[in-house]
């Protein structure tokens, strides 16, 4: 039998070698196509010309309610009364533009102003020095006067100041019926950072001449004397340091020897939480590096809009807290 194909035609044979070659070429083609598609990628929604509003850092607020057990035996008069202790955030504004007036308007509460200009959370000396009566205006000594109800030293120091705001604050603190106070708000700017007050003493958490020591002493003194009063700490906002040439230095990154402002904030949060009180973060959550020009007059002092924004932040906590009594 003749197995040859018709003349002029060659028989096609699918040999194992040919099958292998086809498989290799197919795999190579698939790989090339996938590489092309991978390099091309997918269309992105990113618009390089779009400017995002706001900032991506989340505020570090910690809101803690006052334990109901601390209210046992205390009669609620039905009126929300707030005492603000602090420095220039409280004392720079006047009339309806002051922090306390704005807070009263936003909450309907009675709001007392216990602020002393240029004062700090940390004291100047670790123990009281009669040659430096200005320490009476700093937070731990203000708290001591409130808790002991002895305002003689505070009044004498205030009388020596030419600015009447010192005497006004001392008289206000002396006149308050503390059985009616529901909330004490601690409201200070970045003065401690600029005054080079150390953030803390690792060997003594109660040292008065440190930022955290002054805060811890004041909070615990108030808690022991007036356990029914809720304490709220309002952290410092963004601020600048000023170098020897008068140039602004970003407080968010400039370490003056005791840490930059974020370090002070974290220390303040630690003390607040350990003492069981609320803290509102104004450094990231209110007036920050991105928006400070809108809310500050200079390197540290707030303008009317800044005080308004700060008051709104505290008012939100006060108004929300009413739903849970405190």
Query: What confidence score (pLDDT) does residue 231 get?
Result: 98
Q: Residue 40 class from Cβ within 10 Å (0-12 exposed, 13-18 middle, 19+ buried)?
A: exposed
* pLDDT digits (tens), the chain, 326 positions: 444 444 544 555 667 666 666 767 776 667 666 666 555 544 444 444 544 444 456 899 999 999 999 999 899 999 999 999 999 999 999 899 999 999 999 999 999 999 999 999 999 999 999 999 999 999 999 999 999 999 999 999 999 999 999 999 999 999 999 999 999 999 999 999 999 999 999 999 999 999 999 999 999 999 999 999 999 999 999 999 999 999 999 999 999 999 999 999 999 999 999 999 999 999 999 999 999 999 999 999 999 999 999 999 999 999 997 544 44
The answer to whether 229 touches 179, Cβ cutoff 8 Å, is no
| C-alpha to C-alpha distance for 118 and 87, rounded to whole angstroms | 6
The answer to whether 122 touches 205, Cβ cutoff 8 Å, is no
The answer to whether 295 touches 309, Cβ cutoff 8 Å, is yes
Strand ranges in 260-323 using DSSP code E only, listed in sequence order: 278-280
The answer to whether 305 touches 97, Cβ cutoff 8 Å, is no
The answer to whether 82 touches 110, Cβ cutoff 8 Å, is yes
Query: What confidence score (pLDDT) does residue 57 get?
Result: 67
Selected from 3.90.320.10, 3.40.50.1110, 3.30.930.10, 3.40.190.10, the CATH number assigned to the domain covering 77-240+248-324 reads 3.40.50.1110
Query: What confidence score (pLDDT) does residue 25 get?
Result: 74
Q: Side by side, which strands form the sheet with 183-187? A: 110-115, 81-86, 183-187, 230-234, 278-280
The partner residues of 240 in beta bridges, in order of sequence, read 250
* Residue 279: φ, ψ to 5°: -135, 135
| C-alpha to C-alpha distance for 159 and 145, rounded to whole angstroms | 16
Question: Any idea what DSSP says for residue 74?
Answer: P
- Domain spans, the chain: 77-240+248-324
| C-alpha to C-alpha distance for 37 and 224, rounded to whole angstroms | 70
CB crowding 167-206: b at 16 or more within 10 Å, else e: bbbbeebeeeebeebbbbbbbbbbbbbbbebbbbbeeeee
- Alpha helices by DSSP H, listed for 149-205, are 152-159, 164-175, 191-194
| C-alpha to C-alpha distance for 314 and 82, rounded to whole angstroms | 11
The partner residues of 84 in beta bridges, in order of sequence, read 113, 185
The answer to whether 57 touches 87, Cβ cutoff 8 Å, is no
Query: What confidence score (pLDDT) does residue 46 get?
Result: 40
């Amino acid at each position: 039998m003749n197995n040859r194909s018709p003349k002029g035609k060659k028989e096609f044979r699918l040999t194992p070698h040919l099958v292998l070659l086809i498989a290799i070429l197919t795999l190579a083609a698939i790989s090339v196509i996938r590489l092309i598609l991978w390099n091309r990628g997918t269309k992105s929604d990113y618009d390089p010309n779009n400017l995002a509003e706001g900032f991506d850092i989340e505020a570090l607020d910690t809101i803690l309610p006052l334990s109901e057990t601390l209210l046992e035996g205390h009669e609620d008069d039905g009126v929300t009364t707030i005492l603000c202790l602090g420095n220039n955030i409280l004392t720079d504004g006047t009339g309806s533009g002051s922090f306390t007036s704005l807070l009263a308007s936003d909450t309907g509460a009675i709001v007392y102003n216990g602020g002393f200009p240029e004062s700090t959370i940390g004291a100047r000396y670790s123990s009281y020095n009669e040659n430096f009566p200005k320490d009476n205006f700093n937070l731990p000594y203000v708290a001591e006067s409130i808790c002991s109800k002895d305002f003689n030293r505070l009044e004498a120091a205030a009388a020596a100041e030419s600015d009447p705001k010192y005497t006004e604050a001392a008289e206000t603190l002396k006149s308050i019926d503390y059985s009616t106070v529901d909330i004490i708000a601690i409201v200070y700017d970045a003065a401690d950072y600029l005054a080079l007050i150390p953030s803390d003493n690792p060997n003594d958490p109660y040292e008065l001449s440190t930022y955290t020591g002054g805060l811890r002493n004041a909070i615990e003194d108030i808690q022991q004397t007036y356990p029914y009063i809720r304490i709220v700490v309002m952290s410092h906002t963004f601020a600048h340091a000023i170098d020897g040439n008068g140039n602004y230095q970003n407080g968010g990154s400039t370490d003056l020897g005791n840490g930059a402002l974020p370090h002070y904030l974290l220390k303040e949060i630690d003390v607040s939480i350990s003492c069981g009180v609320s803290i509102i973060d104004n450094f990231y959550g209110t007036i920050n590096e991105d928006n400070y020009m809108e809310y500050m007059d200079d390197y540290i002092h707030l303008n009317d809009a800044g005080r308004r924004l700060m008051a709104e932040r505290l008012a939100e906590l006060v108004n929300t807290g009413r739903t849970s009594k405190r």
